Structure 1
Amino acid sequence: MSREDWKRRALTQGGLLTRAQLAEHGIDRWAVRHRIDTGRWVDHTPTVIGTTTGELSREQLMWLGVLHGGPDALVGDLTAAEVAGLRNWHRDDVTILVPHSADVGAGHPGTVFVRSRRPLTDWKRSVAGLPMCRVEPAVLRFASAQRSARTAEGVLAATVQQRLTSPDQLLEWVDRMRPLRGADRFRRVIREIAGGAHSVAEIDVRRMCKRFGLAPPVRQVRRRDSSGRLRFTDCEWLLADGRILVLEVDGAFHMDVENWEDDLARQRALTSPNRVVVRCTARELRDEPDRVARDLRLLGVPAA
């Protein structure tokens, strides 16, 4: 095997190679040490060598993680979901799933190794040669590890809402991943998502209505505002007097000045003589659903 073949292999792995791969290409440890000592190469971990210098890119961190983690290692959790296209769930650290018996030591800054007893080969797909976890087991494993139920439910809703998977596929993977911490709760949430909920806030509204005996709303309704712009409202009810009550749910990001002003303008544009727009926060739905339900009932929302 030509010693120059290592360059082609490194090119497909973000400029990174393991010591074992270098040995396969005829480059012994003394040659590796010489290149490191002269500043041409970098030893990122005891097993992974960088054939380029400088700060590692995110893709290179993924390659470093799976190369250091061994032949069964996968890019996992939110990192894998982000590669699949998941937006607004970024985490700085790259998550690497490895077999429970893997000896990864301290790893490398920017990578987090998660040991698993599960058959990782069943979860594997390849993205430009990079071993990657499929999006369904990636988000379900992440969700099962969360202390916050809202975080777990939110990532499942976002994955479906952004069309990276379907409720049916998620339900299939919940069964395939038995035993899975939180499986029963995930099934309930996924069925709510299949019923049309696009976010945790919409799920909270549905639960509030069921708990306090209110009619369920129509969600994500297409409306033209006063300027003719197409909008999607969070929740709507048809009142007894023929008017429409719109409930808009504000998350934490709505408190930024720019977003807050945009929301006020949106509310004005959606309001008309036969359409009333009211707002609440996601925190209120979570912590004070009784107050929100009471106010909606006083505004005329019918009973279930």
Structure 2
Amino acid sequence: MAPDPLRRLPVEAETRDLLARLAQEQGGLLARRQLTRLGVPRGAVRAQLDAGRWSLTTPRVVQLSTGEATTRRREWIGVLHAGPRSMLGGLSALRLHGLAGWEPDQVTVWVDDELAFEPVPGVRFFRSRRPFELLRGPGLLPRARCEPAALVHAGYRLGPRAADGLLAAVVQQRLTTPERLLTWVQTLRPLRGAPRFRAALGWAAAGSHSRLEQDVVDLCAGAGLEPPRQQHGRTDADGRRRWTDCEWLLPDGRVLVLEVDGGAHVEARHWAADKRRARRLSSAGRLVVGCTAYEVRHEPAEVIADLVRLGVPRARSCA
């Protein structure tokens, strides 16, 4: 049996039990402020460190047990070091909410003042002046709610394409809804990127699939191209009935199908299913290509150029 790392402390048994519970919950870690608050003398802490029974992970956090630096332990180190007015934010918070496919390269901790304490390797401190009581979600390990974690990270840490992808991912993985995200866009104001987020989420709430298809129609009209036929029924290689997003009859007799992806970043199983669908819709006389919502909304000239290159004809009234 491993020795009790708290048994030598000059405190009451009740206090020792409380410290043991805290350490167990916090990945074998205790903040110095917690030890001080519970009456552990500084000299007793120093004696444990000098004897090698405890180790110092940061100037503010001690480790009572040995073991590898797991993600959970690094998260606890970040919030314990930063103090009670801190919480996991960004991708670190979203990981705890269940987001898959967006692994953080560092632990992100939201704080009142990022200059108020020493830096910690592997931890990024992000200052927020918004009310912490509003942002914090449920859970023993302090973390932001899903919606502000996603929106703040999208607004301040990502470029437009990746930001759209993150918001699409949290909706696709059913961690939240476009409606809840829209409410938080208002709550978090001022929020960088808010106008674009409102537009994208508004389309999603109204039915992004049909909205994006209409955007393709509008793009073609603006470029003088033949408008696509939408939701046309096709039978794939397995005999299943499919409905295509947009398609054109090309002058050489082939059919061009454009499938519009409603999210810039999708789960692997959805991505694989989309690719399989495209293969099985393809044939000698039918070419299936795809584009993303981001391209339709933010890179329309490139989409139009590719459609022209693939043979989409001019509209009859423009011919």
Shorter-chain TM-score tier: 0.7 to 0.9
Aligned partner of 2:7 in structure 1 is none
Which residue among 98, 105, 128 is the counterpart of 1:116?
A: 128
Aligned partner of 2:162 in structure 1 is 151
Which residue among 283, 286, 306 is the counterpart of 1:292?
A: 306
CA distance in 1, matches of 2:264, 2:137: 35
CA distance in 1, matches of 2:315, 2:87: 49
Which residue among 76, 81, 88 is the counterpart of 2:94?
A: 81
Does 2:46 correspond to 1:33? yes
Is contact 1:247–1:279 with CA below 8 Å preserved after alignment?
yes
CA distance in 2, matches of 1:78, 1:222: 40
Aligned partner of 2:107 in structure 1 is 94
Q: Which deviations, in whole Å up to 9, do the C-alpha atoms of 1:7-57 show, x marking residues without a partner?
A: 111111111111121233443222222222233212111111111123321
CA distance in 1, matches of 2:97, 2:238: 36
SS in 2 for 1:132: coil
CA distance in 2, matches of 1:83, 1:229: 38
C-alpha distance 227-181 of structure 1, shift in aligned 2 (>3 A) = same
Aligned partner of 1:210 in structure 2 is 218
* Unpaired runs of at least 5, structure 2: 1-11, 222-226, 266-270
Aligned partner of 2:183 in structure 1 is 172
Q: How far does residue 216 in structure 1 lie from its aligned partner after superposition?
A: 8.4
SS in 1 for 2:67: coil
Which AA in structure 2 matches 1:124? Answer: R
Which AA in structure 2 matches 1:38? Answer: A
Which residue among 238, 245, 259 is the counterpart of 1:236?
A: 245
RMSD: 4.0
Q: How far does residue 67 in structure 1 lie from its aligned partner after superposition?
A: 1.2
Is contact 2:229–2:247 with CA below 8 Å preserved after alignment?
no
CA distance in 2, matches of 1:19, 1:237: 62
Is contact 1:239–1:302 with CA below 8 Å preserved after alignment?
no
* Unpaired runs of at least 5, structure 1: 254-258
Is contact 1:74–1:124 with CA below 8 Å preserved after alignment?
yes
Matched positions, count: 286
Which AA in structure 2 matches 1:236? Answer: D
Does 2:16 correspond to 1:4? yes
Is contact 1:271–1:277 with CA below 8 Å preserved after alignment?
yes
CA distance in 2, matches of 1:225, 1:245: 15
Mean CA deviation greater in 93-102 or 156-165? 93-102
CA distance in 1, matches of 2:187, 2:220: 35
TM-score (norm 1): 0.77
SS in 2 for 1:20: helix
Aligned partner of 2:146 in structure 1 is 135
CA distance in 1, matches of 2:203, 2:70: 38
Is contact 2:213–2:245 with CA below 8 Å preserved after alignment?
no
Is contact 2:109–2:123 with CA below 8 Å preserved after alignment?
yes
Q: Which deviations, in whole Å up to 9, do the C-alpha atoms of 1:102-146 show, x marking residues without a partner?
A: 61221x22211101111122111122x111100100111011114
Which AA in structure 2 matches 1:292? Answer: D
C-alpha distance 277-191 of structure 1, shift in aligned 2 (>3 A) = farther
CA distance in 2, matches of 1:212, 1:229: 29
CA distance in 2, matches of 1:222, 1:16: 60
Is contact 2:110–2:127 with CA below 8 Å preserved after alignment?
yes
C-alpha distance 207-39 of structure 1, shift in aligned 2 (>3 A) = farther
Which residue among 133, 137, 145 is the counterpart of 1:125?
A: 137
Q: Which deviations, in whole Å up to 9, do the C-alpha atoms of 1:39-95 show, x marking residues without a partner?
A: 321211111111112332111111111111111201101111121111211112010
C-alpha distance 80-147 of structure 1, shift in aligned 2 (>3 A) = closer
Is contact 2:230–2:246 with CA below 8 Å preserved after alignment?
yes
Structure of larger gyration radius: 2
Q: How far does residue 271 in structure 1 lie from its aligned partner after superposition?
A: 2.8
